Structure 1
Amino acid sequence: MFAGTRIRHKLLFYYSLLFTLSLSIGFATVYVITRDTIEKNIESELHNTSTTIYNLVTTSLTVSIKNYLRSAAEKNLQIIESLYLDYQNGLLTEQEAKERARRVLLSQTIGESGYIYCLNSSGIVVVHPQKTLLQTDVSEYSFVRDLLVKERGYLEYDWKNPDEKKSRPKALYMIHFKPWDWFISVSSYREEFKGLVNVDDFRQSVLDVKFGKTGYAFVMNNEGKAIIHPKLEGVNILTVEGLPNEYLASILEQKNGRVVYSWRNPGETEPRSKLCYFSYIEDYDWIVGAASYQEEFYGPLRTIRTLVVVTFIITMLLVLTLTFKISDSITSPLRNLMEKFTSASKGDFSLRMAVSSKDELGQLAMFFNRFMEQLGDYSSNLKQQIQVRQEAENSLRESEERYRSVMEAAADPIVIYDMEGRVTYFNPAFRTVFGWRLEECLGKKLDHFVPRENWPETELMITAIRQGTVLPATETKRYTKTGEIRNVSISGAAFRDHLHQLAGSVVILRDITETKRLTRQLMDIGDNVRQTIGQDLHDDLCPHLIGIGGLVSALKTTIKKNNGDGERLAEKIVELIGEATSKARGLARGLCPVHLVAYGLQSALNEIADKTQLATNIHCSFSGDPSLKIHDNTLATHLYYIVQEAVNNAVKHSGASSIDISLEQKDEYIHLWIIDDGRGIDDKQQGKGIGLQIMKYRVLVIGAFLEITSQSESGTIIHVFMKKSESMHP
């Protein structure tokens, strides 16, 4: 709305608005703070006065009741002392004196249902209006014990008569008459105290409480009758016409709190706003309060209001005059500067302004001159920079196009992550292999396509990337979108930004599922060929050699019977055939170690342990879980060769004295352990031997995991574990 308005008018408006708001806020703040302070002081004074009156009345009531009970007790003590004197003078027997004393005591009531009773120092009731309590031991009550100790004084307690369902608060005053050992107790229920109170004892104390000019205190009962009031005492306020009866009824209903109402005292023509704080005395069903007119407290506010208005008018007149003066001293030089800028916008960078002062406007003129000089230089430099930048942008665009073309043409899936592991790009080959579209994964992590059992090596790869090292090719597994598991070889490296800070990583996931399947098929074919050869050796060649051995044995017998010279030669032939049969069996067992054993893998592993111990004198043992049955002959064969390779390495290289082999199942996994107590594997050689390479390859083929733990002079632990499958169970 001020886009076309001059600065002079804007300054006038803004200064006026600023001072108006500032003064309004300042004066309003002062006024509100003053008003709140006054109101808080009023309410605090009234509240404190109400509390003081409440305490004064309750204390006065307690003292009045105490005085009443004490007066009754002392009066009855005088009567008993008079009867006791008659007994001493021989006018009455002691029994007659006590009987008259009982009648006098029992003939009196305190309030509506209060009474007088007597106890002796043993706590036995000797005088009581209820005959069922006479001669009753009440020393078990705490207030009775207090009576017996104090002998004289005021006491409050709770008491339940035999014919009542619950106890009620009660008070008594007690005096001890020693000649008869009577504790004279004048008692009354607290709920009946209001009938015993003498208002004259404290009326003047309440009326003397004053605050402000006309503030006063009052006491009224629950029916609206003014018990203590400076003008309406003894009057039922609810029945008086012209008084705010609805507010007084509200006070009787609320019993505690504050109320603001209009009140007109007798003799006044107009009602005035009044503030009242009040409290409830439950025992007497009384309400005590303190009230005062609000106008008596708000006099200073009217003075402040008048002062604020006058100050505001004077200040605004000064502001308007000063604003006109200031605006003219600013707008004239600015108008000249605007004209110069208009000329400079047409391309004339030679314009300059005259510097006539050293204030901000003079400095603005100097800055304009300097700006025009630099603007001329920047104009020429900018043209050159634009040309250079255009060439750089064209080169960068060509480089990005080449980079994207290479990525999209790559046959292997390629993923680019930021340093938080979120996807920023992957090529079409990734969607082809794994099924996810780039829009589904952009800006998200791909944790969901990592199988749980492959997280250990995945975390190692993540650590390598975060350290900025090159990630060597690592075989692992990943899920596709359909839940299929693919074997992949992962490699990659981190890249840095223009500040040489790690900015992300490029990861290549080569799908080797088909390669591993073909490799396994080749190994299975090799194993099947070995098994076929072993079966043929065992089932064909060995019986054949055994048959030949039998015929030669028969030939030997025939030659021996004929006393021929060929007996020794025939015996040698039989020996050689026997050795050939043993070697054929050994070859068959080596080529088909599990299939040829009736009891499967565990029997074959036990045979490895026995043969090792027999051939090397190294203690070698096997322990297996009898309930674990592996019916997949290919899986059993690989496990057999893994154990055989591990045992051979331990025998040849570790110098071990003990080798333990164990096969067990825990939860969803089966575990194979080969543990020796040798010298361990050298860190430089670990993982480089052909035997260990073959073991690792067999582990990958069967989908298992391999852990090798080796310490110098502490031996080596080889741990193979894998998930159980249906082929492992009958």
Structure 2
Amino acid sequence: MKGKDMPATRRRPSLSYAPFRASLLVILALAFFIGIFWIINEYQTYRESIANIRHTYRELYQARVREEMDNMLGFIVHRRSQADMRVENELREKVRTAYTIASHIYRMYREEKNTPELRAMVAEILRPIRWNNGRGSYFAGRLEEGTIDLFADNPFLEGLKIGRLPDGQGRSLPPEIIRILRDKGAGIYRYRFMKEDVGDRSFPGILFVKYFAPFDWYIGAAVSNEAMEHLLQEDILSTIQDIRFDEDGFILCFRFDGTIISHPEKKFIGRSITDLVGSQGTPYGRAMLEAALKPEGEHYIHYQMNQGGSRKSGQRLSYVQAYPDWNWILATDMSMASMEKAITEETRTYVTISFKNVFIFIGLFAVAVLFLLGLAYYHSSKIKHGISLFTDFFRKAADNQVKIRDQDLAFAEFEDLARLANTMVDDRIQKERILRRDELRLDTLLQLGMMEGHDIRDKYDFVLHRIVQITGSASGYIALVNNTQTHATLCSRVTIHTGQFGLGPDDNAAPRSVEEGDLIGTCVLKKKPFILNTTAQTNRFPAYPYSRPVRRRLDVPISNDSRVVLVAGVCDSSRDYDNSDIRQMTMLLEGMWLHVLKICSEKERAILERQVIAISEEERSRIGRDLHDDLGSHLSGVELLSKVLQQKLEKEVPAEAEQLGAIRELIREAIEKTRRLSRGLYPVHIREYGLKAAIEELVVELEQLFPVRCSLSIDPQVEEVATNQASHVYYIIREAMFNAARHGRPEKIEIIVRREHLHLSVRIIDNGKGFAEKDSKKGMGLHTMQYRAKAIGASLNIEPGPTGGTMVTLEGKVFK
């Protein structure tokens, strides 16, 4: 049972091991966050490195394929520019070869055969000779006769006259050739040949002829421009087919319609470029065609392709560009395996470095953990001593306003922090000074409110002394201004170093005109405060009311209803005066003036209340005397006459005598009520028998009127209370008892009257239902009780009783 009744105590952590546990948690948290940060940082660095590698390699690859494309286009342009010269040289070489053959045959067989036979022999030898894939052949004919003896491309023309072969411009062909042969013996001739089977379309070409005199022959070789162009394209395509560069780099060529005309894999030649698809299903062929046909835009194509027939795919880069002259599209394509390899190597390197860093981090972390935990364990034993040191430091910093000195700092970086700390201390000191000034001002106002029994000059001296303390001044004054604003009267002076507190014998307390030029009059006339913080400023005004020149001074006027009522000033503070000093002085002086007005108004109200109470008492006494002397006497006379009449009727008319007896009873009740009312209005028995007898009679009267029991305890010494004060005490007790009986409905009322030296203490306690505070403020009787208490200089309190009901307490110094 004992274990169940006792509350379970929670085990609190030990302060000695708090640094150890905190260090462990901090180390683990740091390890976690550092690890996360390190992983994220390493991963981000890896990503940036890979992105940098990709960007660098892509720029290199793009520059490489672009360079190959520029070289290829330059090669085509160069070859086209050299095509005519090459064809001319080739035709010259072929004709010279034929000329050599004819010369050789002639030398060998001229003795054996005649000229026609030799012509036929040479013609047959030259007829089958072809070059440039069959597009080049020989022709020969007799110059004088104009007969064609050899036309290898079209044997049907042999035997015809050469003059029947017009060129495309309508000119006769043989005269041109004859002129070249006769003038030079050999030469180049450009022609335009007409073919009727293709719609009379002309086909330009070039030929070379040379005259062979033994046969009277011209031997020539010709080729058309179209054939030359085809020859050039085939030669270039053959060159493209064999071009390889860098890592599996090649050049791809296809027409505008997408037909592939050159590809390193010959199986793709003749197929559409749109059929080419990457390893991931990417139609890179269609992308090449669309990119080349666009006038602007990116002409680089990236795609994936299996490497060397394996299933492993690699990235490739192509650069496409159109060659409109031949309706060709060229694409330089190369593998990006080096980039993939570099990325793989970089990844492997990062993984290796990461594992190495992890092991290093774990080792260093273990060393740091051991070191920090050991250090934390060591410092745990020093906590108690450290706490006492810190306590002493904070106590000194709070009491002595310790600051950080620059020479105590070991590092220059801490100087700014030290300045900030010192600024904070200065701010705290300033705020504490302002707070102390506010506290001193509020305490002054509170103390002023408690100085009800002091003379007004004492209050002026007290407030001025506090003003001098708040402003840190050496001296000060307060001067009152008359209602006409023409004179100011010095009413208080305080000087700290001399100990003067109040007006001294040397101070001039006579009224002084505000127009005499001193700063008091200037404040009254201009109705504004003046701050003079330099000697040059203070010398412009007389030193009054000070007895010697001052260095600094502050004078503040206080107004009431647009009228200056007083001027207060201080001088010779250790610092310059500012607006905060004006604010402090203004609030304190305004509070003092409001207190003065309040005291004056309270005094006037007390006088009026006493006059009202005196008049009401006099009127009550007059009414009480009239009731007692006049109405009471008349009723007593009526009662005596009715008694005589009753005695007479008892003998003569007994029935009417009985009715007259009832009338006499009513008259006696009226007499008693009149006597009771007169006592309430004018308790003459207080003067005759004293306060104690009057209270005892009041108790009897209350018990007769209300169903309540009364208990009275009274000291005999209360009889020494003066009659006027006793009357007020009596009426307060009467009002309290009747209020309790009427409204509280108690069963018992206890009246206790005690005298302690010169003080009177009265308590009326009932056990009724009590009272509501809001209702207690409405009754006229309670206000009258307060007025009577103030009239005799006592205090009246109404509060709930100790066991319920209400307790009315009257206390005050009423004895002389």
* Band of TM-score, shorter chain: 0.3 to 0.5
Greater Rg over alpha carbons, structure: 2
Superposition TM-score, scaled by structure 1 size: 0.34
Superposition TM-score, scaled by structure 2 size: 0.31
